[in-house]
Amino acid sequence: MKNLRLKSARAAKDLSQEELAHAVGVSRQTISAIEKGDYNPTIRLCLSICKVLDRTLDELFWE
């Protein structure tokens, strides 16, 4: 399932996939795969992404 909430939150912060990836210590391809729904990130990575985007786990990853 695509993660459009992550993509939207990233765009709202005016961050590229590359910039978000650098901020959380993963590759751009990993961020792309998460947004496409092809990769299920660890809780640690989810928390890092939430911190950078100023969002909660509920807002970005849980239904």
Average pLDDT over residues 4-33: 97
- Give the predicted TM-score (pTM) of the model: 0.92
Residue range of the domain that includes 8: 4-56
Residue 31 maps to a domain: yes
Amino acid sitting at position 55: R
Number of domains in the chain: 1
pLDDT tens, position by position, 33-58: 999 999 999 999 999 999 999 999 99
Q: What is the pLDDT of residue 62?
A: 84
Residue 50 maps to a domain: yes
13: domain CATH number is 1.10.260.40
CA distances from 63 to 5, 26, 27, 38, 58 (A): 10, 24, 25, 17, 7
